[in-house]
Amino acid sequence: MFDAAASLRREAGERSFQVLRDASDPNKVVHFSRWESIAGAKAFFESPELVEIRRQAGVASPEFHYLHQLEAGTL
C-alpha cells in the first residue's frame, strides 16, 4: 500500500522519504519524509482518503510528528 500511494504523496508535496524498521520489533516501522511544506504534509496525512487507505491496509493510525529541519550533512 505504501508504494501504491507514491503518486499521491508526490502530488501532495512529498519530496523524499525513508522507511525504517525497528531493530528489536519488526512490526514497528518509522517513515521519515521531506515535504514542500508542513501544511501539505498535514493535509495529506490527516486526509480522509489516507485514513481510508490505512483502514484497507489494516494499519492503525500512526503517531505524527511534524518537524522543522535545523541542520543536515554527511560525514
Give the fold, CATH level 3, of 3-57: Alpha-Beta Plaits (3.30.70)
Give the phi and the psi of residue 41 in degrees, each rounded to 5. Answer: -65, -45
The total number of residues written for the chain in this structure: 75
* pLDDT for position 60: 82
* Sequential pLDDT tens for the chain (75 residues): 778 788 889 999 999 999 999 999 998 989 999 999 999 999 998 889 888 888 888 888 888 999 999 999 999
Domain ranges of the chain: 3-57
* 38 vs 67: CA distance, rounded Å: 8
Q: What is the 3-state secondary structure (H, E, C) of the chain?
A: CCHHHHHHHHHHCEEEEEEEECCCCCCCEEEEEEECCHHHHHHHHCCHHHHHHHHHHCCCCCCCCCCCCCCCCCC
The predicted pLDDT at position 5 comes to: 81
pLDDT at 49: 87
The pLDDT value given to residue 61 = 81
